[in-house]
Chains A and B, each alone.
Chain A
Amino acid sequence: MNGKLGNSLLLWQNHPCVVIGRHQNPWLECDISYLERNKIPIARRKSGGGAVYHDLGNLNCTFYTSRKEYDRPKNLKLICSAVQDMWPDLDIYPTDRDDIEMFGYKVSGTASKLDREHAYHHLTLLVNADLLNMSMALKNKINIESKSTKSIRSQVTNLTCSMAPSLNMESIIDCISRKVSPQSKVEIIDPNEVEGVKYEREKIKSWNWIYGFSPAFTIVKDFNTSLGLHHLTIKVVKGKISDFKLLHKEINYPFLNEILIGSDFRPDVIEQTLEKFIGHELCELIIGYITGSYDDL
């Protein structure tokens, strides 16, 4: 954060993507094979909190202030009262977890980042998002043990409903802007022109940040093949395999651990090695599991 924005509210949208919190694990929080098949990218943000799905039916609001003026409840009240002023029939309110609910369903999740001088509080707002795509994208497919921060799953809904027929993305943006700045000093910004974005982009797009920054984790799974039961344990630290044990009552895989230690935990990287040492059937099962391609959780 470079402080050049001053106190401001940013309203922004993304094409379909998943955004995980700073200390989360993408293999745990989403169905990576579903995202790859549907070309939905994953991003890791620098603020805390859980995994969210964005598409053009979701509105992101970022309240950027000095550290002293950081006040999440105030921002949430502002959004709720803006919506309620315009559409009084909507029962919309902040919760004690700093979410926003409408009629008991979650319509917004919150996260924030604080440094010495500045802070930002950002939240999602489900206006007219593809909730089916969201539930498929945010499905947990792999059993992972980790100290990473876990998302708390809630029942969600969109703001658009028959009680507010005039509510859509355009009218919501308009209504929130007017509440924040009654004289409506709204400026359309090209994110590419914001100072520091190009520098941040390279780091934020890297595999090391999105996947490698995940807190240490362990995958444990049993696989049944024509040769019997195999017990698999994979430990990953900083995105690299630190331990790979494949145990079977009679069969030994003596060199597997030594060869795989230090490799990136990338299925395409592991697959080539695995196939040579353990054969096609078991390799396919293992790779299928760690990529979330199988539905047997």
Chain B
Amino acid sequence: MATTAVAKLTRVFAPKLVSYAKCRPLIPQSKVLLRSYTLSATKLANDRYFTKDHEWVTVDGGEATVGISDHAQTNLGEIVFVQLPDVSSEFSLGEECGALESVKAASDIICPLSGKVFAKNSAVEDDPTKINQSPYDDGWLFKLEMTNTKEVEELMNEDEYHKFLKEDD
């Protein structure tokens, strides 16, 4: 019974939303520019942030997705094994939470933010080279619920990370 009621509601509301989108007037050019300036001044959801350990983080509400940067995967070489943190495990910022193996070298994965792991990417466990091929997309490592969202403010944005890479060289 409950399902039928929900279905009816959807049929009633959806057509209205579609027609509203079609009728909405175009935003004048100057207003568009003003809007994007304001948004870039704050931290956007799905912007990428970086750590000094060459890991990236994207944030969505209280949830963070973690991976390694293109610089990291290039330096590591072909990754042959990835040991990811277990789901439900908890870590503090800076704590070792897993490892990547490439050319007989095991490199620590450092947890970039304090939190509890709620998902790990089993696709990279099955095929670690996905991390090399697509470090920012298919090669994500794990997701965690942050316990302290303020920690994100300490991370570098993309520009700052590129500067950091130049200085490091």
Which B residues lie within 8 Å of A114 (CB)? 105-108
Is there contact, CB below 8 Å, between B108 and A47? no
Is there contact, CB below 8 Å, between A149 and B101? yes
Interface centre among A97, A110, A113 (most CB of B within 10 A): A113
The answer to the question of A48 belonging to the interface, with a C-beta cut-off of 8 Å to chain B, is yes
The answer to the question of A39 belonging to the interface, with a C-beta cut-off of 8 Å to chain B, is no
- Distance of A148 Cα from B108 Cα, bound (Å): 17
Q: Which of A50, A113, A148, A215 contacts B105 (CB 8 A)?
A: A113
Is there contact, CB below 8 Å, between B104 and A147? no
Give 1 or 0 for each of A138-154: 1 = CB within 8 Å of chain B CB: 00000000011100000
Count of CB-CB pairs between chains A and B under 8 Å: 58
Is there contact, CB below 8 Å, between A116 and B105? no
The answer to the question of A115 belonging to the interface, with a C-beta cut-off of 8 Å to chain B, is yes
The answer to the question of A98 belonging to the interface, with a C-beta cut-off of 8 Å to chain B, is yes
Which B residues lie within 8 Å of A147 (CB)? 81, 125-126
- Distance of A134 Cα from B25 Cα, bound (Å): 79
From residue A57, how far is it (CB to closest CB) to chain B in Å? 23
Beta-carbon nearest neighbor of B52 in chain A: A116
**Prevailing SS type, chain B contact patch:** strand
Q: Which of B81, B104, B107, B126 contacts A111 (CB 8 A)?
A: B104
Given contacts A23-B83, A23-B101, A215-B81, whether A112 and B125 have CB atoms under 8 Å apart is no
Q: Which A residues form the contact surface with B (CB < 8 A)?
A: 21-23, 46-50, 97-98, 110-116, 147-149, 215
Is there contact, CB below 8 Å, between B125 and A22? no
Which B residues lie within 8 Å of A98 (CB)? 103-104
Is there contact, CB below 8 Å, between B81 and A115? no
- Distance of A111 Cα from B108 Cα, bound (Å): 14
Which B residues lie within 8 Å of A215 (CB)? 81, 83
Is there contact, CB below 8 Å, between A116 and B104? no
Is there contact, CB below 8 Å, between A21 and B104? yes
Is there contact, CB below 8 Å, between A23 and B105? no
Q: Which of A46, A112, A115, A148 contacts B104 (CB 8 A)?
A: A112
Which A residues lie within 8 Å of B108 (CB)? 114-116
Is there contact, CB below 8 Å, between A23 and B104? no
14 new A-B contacts, CB < 8 A, other than A149-B80, A215-B83, are A21-B104, A22-B83, A22-B101, A23-B81, A47-B104, A48-B106, A49-B104, A98-B104, A111-B104, A112-B104, A114-B105, A114-B106, A115-B107, A147-B125
Is there contact, CB below 8 Å, between B106 and A113? yes
The answer to the question of B99 belonging to the interface, with a C-beta cut-off of 8 Å to chain A, is yes
From residue B47, how far is it (CB to closest CB) to chain A in Å? 24
The answer to the question of B97 belonging to the interface, with a C-beta cut-off of 8 Å to chain A, is no
- Distance of A98 Cα from B83 Cα, bound (Å): 23
From residue B90, how far is it (CB to closest CB) to chain A in Å? 18
Which A residues lie within 8 Å of B138 (CB)? none
Leading 7 A-B pairs by shortest Cβ distance: A49-B104, A48-B101, A48-B106, A112-B105, A23-B81, A114-B107, A115-B108
Is there contact, CB below 8 Å, between A116 and B110? yes
Is there contact, CB below 8 Å, between B105 and A149? no
Which A residues lie within 8 Å of B158 (CB)? none
The answer to the question of B96 belonging to the interface, with a C-beta cut-off of 8 Å to chain A, is yes
Given contacts A23-B81, A115-B96, A149-B81, whether A48 and B105 have CB atoms under 8 Å apart is yes
Which B residues lie within 8 Å of A23 (CB)? 81, 83, 99, 101, 106
The answer to the question of B53 belonging to the interface, with a C-beta cut-off of 8 Å to chain A, is yes
From residue B69, how far is it (CB to closest CB) to chain A in Å? 15
From residue B71, how far is it (CB to closest CB) to chain A in Å? 14
From residue A100, how far is it (CB to closest CB) to chain B in Å? 13
Is there contact, CB below 8 Å, between B99 and A116? no
